[in-house]
Amino acid sequence: MADTLDDDYIVSRIDGIDRYETSAEIARAIAAILPAGFGANRAFFARGDAFPDALAIGPVAASAYAPVLLVRTDSVPESIASVVDELDIQTGAIAGGTSAVGDATMGELQVMLQDNGG
Domain with 57 in it:
2-115
The HSE-up count of residue 73 (CA atoms within 13 Å, CB side) is 7
Helix (H, G, I), strand (E, B) or coil at 68: strand
Total domains in the fold of the chain: 1
Residues 52-103: pLDDT tens digits?
999 999 999 999 999 999 999 999 999 999 999 999 999 999 999 898 999 9
CA torsion, points 99, 100, 102, 103, in degrees to nearest 10? -90
pTM of this prediction?
0.90
Q: Kindly report, residue by residue over 16-52, the tens digit of the pLDDT.
A: 999 999 999 999 999 998 887 776 799 999 999 999 9
Compute φ and ψ for 24, nearest 5 degrees: -65, -40
Contact 46, 101 (CB under 8 A): yes
